[in-house]
Amino acid sequence: MPQQFANFINGEWVESPEVSPNINPSNLDDVIGEFARADAEQTQRAIRAAADAFATWSLSTPQQRFDVLDRTGSALLERKEELGRLLAREEGKTVAEGIGEVGRAGQIFKFFAGEALRIGGEIVPSVRPGLTVEVTREPLGVIGLITPWNFPIAIPAWKIAPALAYGNCVVLKPADLVPASAWELVKIIAQAGAPHGVINLVMGRGTVVGEALVASPLVNAISFTGSVATGRAIAARCVASGKKVQLEMGGKNPMVVLDDADLDVAVEACINGAFFSTGQRCTASSRLIVTEGIHDRFVEAMKARMVTLKIGDALAAETHIGPVVDAKQLQQDEDYIRIAREEGGEVFGGERVPGASKGYFLAPALITGTNNAMRINREEVFGPVASVVKAKDYDEALALANDTEFGLSAGICTTSLRHATHFKRHVQAGMVMVNVATAGVDYHVPFGGRKGSSYGPREQGSYAREFYTIVKTAYVAS
Ligand code: NDP
């Protein structure tokens, strides 16, 4: 009988009538547990608990909030090996990547523990005599957090930590596919001393739990990460009901490789950016835009490096690339590989790999001979699939990089300071990488994109306060 995992509502573990099995994508016979699937009524209870808790948590001292967040961060760092394995088991990234992600979640809590102490304000002289103006920040209220499956602990962490640091209460709906890491995180936050109702976990379907969060008049703001279609639909409803909303969505991130690039540096940046974490990162380098002089050498070096990558069980020490997360995503990856081939692209790799266990193993695919108008270069695949677009020179490469509806991350590999400097200024992306992969970011600086990739204030770093607080301006007569 698999272990049962309940929702966490108002400080209590609450079972649901329905459960969902959490299956290891490296080994479909391995069931991690059965996780509650809440209904709309349970979601309402969690929202009400958060609204009730807000009355006291919003007035708690910075020290109280620091203590809860700091203890959470310490527990995550202490348990990162164990939780990293759990994460790898439920999502399919390698154990090293899983441990790295849990460590990152721990650091995020430590960072926002400090931020709780640093909430300041401004005192501004009034333009009128006898008055002083004070500008301060206050928490918003109840925040609904809706998170995707590809970073099962880091994304919940980078939304929960600032929400709590600034005095808000939270209802978290993790991805239905990977609830185990989020479940452990919420348990740790509760054990770290978060009062009842301050953090609530409601697991289940987006169409039930997510919908109920977006619809509730007691929820003051929604922070969402996931697909463009779902994000845009949520934003429209939040705007209509006056909720604050923040979206992080897809990418079709370009990595430009110029003739003067260090070939080894470029290949490592592209292998990492395109294929690590099975390409299931919104910052993945899915378009490799390569100038003519280096194109053929680059493609050959990529292929030579790709055949050295070991695809297999996420929990095996020798694995470089774990499985695709589920059957639906595998189908999507294979559909795009087929579409690219039908459009005239030449596919290297991209075939299913037999494993020791039943799992969704797919070899990374490099698609050459593509142009930027093809669907493979316009739509997010979200798998270990990258295409190569040949460019005449730097100017054309930059134009191709910007010819997309997305704008999350962009990279350039070059030894030219002039081109690197120009690219940093002119590429239309929220994050720019020079001689380093488009994926993989620090935890203490802003994260987010432009154009169709993001909406609303940035996440992470001190910039997170723009979303999780509201400004008050007070006029005081002396
Ligand atoms: P979704 O956008 O559907 O899911 C993201 C989150 O939103 C999940 O928690 C989901 O719940 C929830 N959700 C779904 N429908 C609703 C709704 N109507 N109201 C409120 N919440 C909802 O993405 P998927 O996980 O289905 O992945 C689909 C594609 O999205 C991927 O193939 C990939 O292309 C892209 N994606 C992009 C990510 C990014 O970071 N850029 C991250 C993940 C996916 P539930 O778990 O029940 O589906």
Same domain as 100, residue 146: yes
Residue 168 CA to chain centroid, in angstroms?
21
Q: Which positions ≥6 away from 88 have C-beta within 8 Å?
A: 94, 95, 97, 98, 314, 315, 322
Amino acid letter at 104? R
**Residue 432, number of CB atoms within 10 A of its CB:** 17
Q: Is the CB of 447 under 6 A from ligand 1?
A: no
Q: Is residue 355 scored above 90 in pLDDT?
A: no
Same domain as 300, residue 239: no
Same domain as 419, residue 450: no
Q: What is the mean pLDDT of residues 208-226?
A: 98
| 97 C-alpha to ligand 1 centroid (Å) | 21
Compute the radius of gyration of the chain from its Cα atoms: 23
Same domain as 233, residue 308: no
CA distances to 43, 178, 240, 403 from 214, rounded to whole Å, are 11, 21, 11, 33
Same domain as 430, residue 448: no
| 370 C-alpha to ligand 1 centroid (Å) | 28
Q: Which positions ≥6 away from 435 have C-beta within 8 Å?
A: 261, 262, 265, 266, 269, 412, 413, 414, 420
| 241 C-alpha to ligand 1 centroid (Å) | 22
Residue 32 lies in a domain: yes
Same domain as 139, residue 64: yes
Q: Is the CB of 226 under 6 A from ligand 1?
A: yes
Same domain as 145, residue 266: no
Q: Is the CB of 461 under 6 A from ligand 1?
A: no
| 230 C-alpha to ligand 1 centroid (Å) | 6
Same domain as 25, residue 127: yes
Pocket test for ligand 1, best of 39, 176, 227 (most atoms within 8 A of CB): 227
| 144 C-alpha to ligand 1 centroid (Å) | 15
Same domain as 219, residue 76: yes
Per-residue pLDDT band at 478 (split at 50, 70, 90): confident
Pocket test for ligand 1, best of 158, 230, 237, 376 (most atoms within 8 A of CB): 230
User: pLDDT, tens digit, for every residue of 4-34?
Assistant: 999 999 999 999 999 999 999 999 999 999 9
User: pLDDT, tens digit, for every residue of 158-213?
Assistant: 999 999 999 999 999 999 999 999 999 999 999 999 999 999 999 999 999 999 99
Q: Is the CB of 382 under 6 A from ligand 1?
A: yes
Residue 1 CA to chain centroid, in angstroms?
32
d(CA 71, CA 79): 12
pLDDT of 241 reads: 96
Per-residue pLDDT band at 221 (split at 50, 70, 90): very high
Question: Do the strands 285-291 and 385-391 form a parallel or antiparallel pair, or are they unpaired?
Answer: parallel
d(CA 136, CA 122): 7
281: left (phi over 0), alpha (psi -120 to 50) or beta: beta
Residue 439 lies in a domain: no
**Residue 63, number of CB atoms within 10 A of its CB:** 9
| 225 C-alpha to ligand 1 centroid (Å) | 7
Residue 171 lies in a domain: yes
Tell me the HSE value of 350 on the side-chain side, using a 13 A CA sphere: 25
Same domain as 211, residue 330: no
Tally of structural domains, the chain: 2
Whole-structure pTM value: 0.97
**Residue 137, number of CB atoms within 10 A of its CB:** 17
pLDDT of 168 reads: 99
Pocket test for ligand 1, best of 23, 146, 450 (most atoms within 8 A of CB): 146
Q: Is the CB of 380 under 6 A from ligand 1?
A: yes
Same domain as 39, residue 177: yes
Is 82 noted as a catalytic residue in this protein?
no
User: pLDDT, tens digit, for every residue of 356-374?
Assistant: 889 999 999 999 999 999 9
Q: Is the CB of 207 under 6 A from ligand 1?
A: yes
pLDDT of 1 reads: 83
CATH at 284: 3.40.309.10
Strands (E), 196-353: 199-201, 221-225, 244-248, 253-257, 285-291, 346-349
Catalytic residue among 248, 334, 380, 459: 248
Same domain as 172, residue 80: yes
d(CA 273, CA 298): 15
Q: Which positions ≥6 away from 55 have C-beta within 8 Å?
A: none
Residue 83 lies in a domain: yes
User: pLDDT, tens digit, for every residue of 294-330?
Assistant: 999 999 999 999 999 999 999 999 999 999 999 999 9
Cβ proximity of 438 and 274 under 8 Å: no
CATH at 194: 3.40.605.10
Backbone angles phi, psi at 430, to 5 degrees: -75, -25
Q: Is the CB of 145 under 6 A from ligand 1?
A: no
State the helix-helix crossing angle for 292-306 and 263-275, rounded to 10 degrees.
60
Cβ proximity of 117 and 62 under 8 Å: yes
Q: Is residue 353 scored above 90 in pLDDT?
A: yes
Minimal-distance CA residue to ligand 1 atom 18: 207
Q: What is the span of the domain harbouring residue 26?
A: 4-249+444-477
